[in-house]
């Protein structure tokens, strides 16, 4: 599943497009009920529209009050860590591929390699 958007599409519109694609194959994600997002997706109207359209809850992860420096935030470190793991793969570090489907396949191969190392 590939969603290609232009750079002039804002994050909320892009997220809505992605969630519409996920909704089409909803049976592959039977346990999906909550989606963690950062403050860029925190508009009340956006959160309610996702809840009423797709019946998924968006949980906005915000930093603690008065935070100075790096503080691990609830669940957000999982995404940041995964992006760091992907940056170790040369083909994922730069955009070499012509088709988005090829890039998606290399992300799957990269994640398979990461998980196999963790299982070993």
* Cβ proximity of 2 and 24 under 8 Å: no
* Cβ proximity of 72 and 87 under 8 Å: no
**pLDDT by residue (tens digit) across 103-116?**
889 999 999 999 99
The Cα 105–Cα 2 span in angstroms is: 10
Q: Output the pTM of the full model.
A: 0.60
**pLDDT by residue (tens digit) across 49-76?**
888 888 888 888 877 788 888 777 767 7
Q: Name 99's Cβ contacts closer than 8 Å, sequence gap at least 6.
A: none
More reliable by pLDDT, 116 or 80? 116
């Amino acid at each position: 599943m590939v969603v290609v958007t232009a750079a002039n599409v804002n994050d909320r519109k892009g997220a809505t497009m992605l969630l519409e694609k996920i909704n089409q194959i909803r049976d592959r994600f039977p346990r999906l009920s909550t989606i963690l997002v950062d403050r860029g997706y925190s508009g009340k109207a956006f959160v309610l529209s996702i809840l009423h359209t797709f019946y998924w809850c968006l949980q906005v992860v915000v930093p603690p009050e008065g935070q100075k420096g790096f503080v691990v935030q609830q669940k957000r470190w999982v995404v940041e860590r995964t992006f760091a793991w992907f940056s170790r793969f040369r083909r994922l570090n730069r955009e070499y591929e012509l088709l988005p489907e090829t890039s998606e396949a290399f992300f799957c191969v990269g994640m398979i390699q990461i998980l196999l190392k963790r299982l070993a």
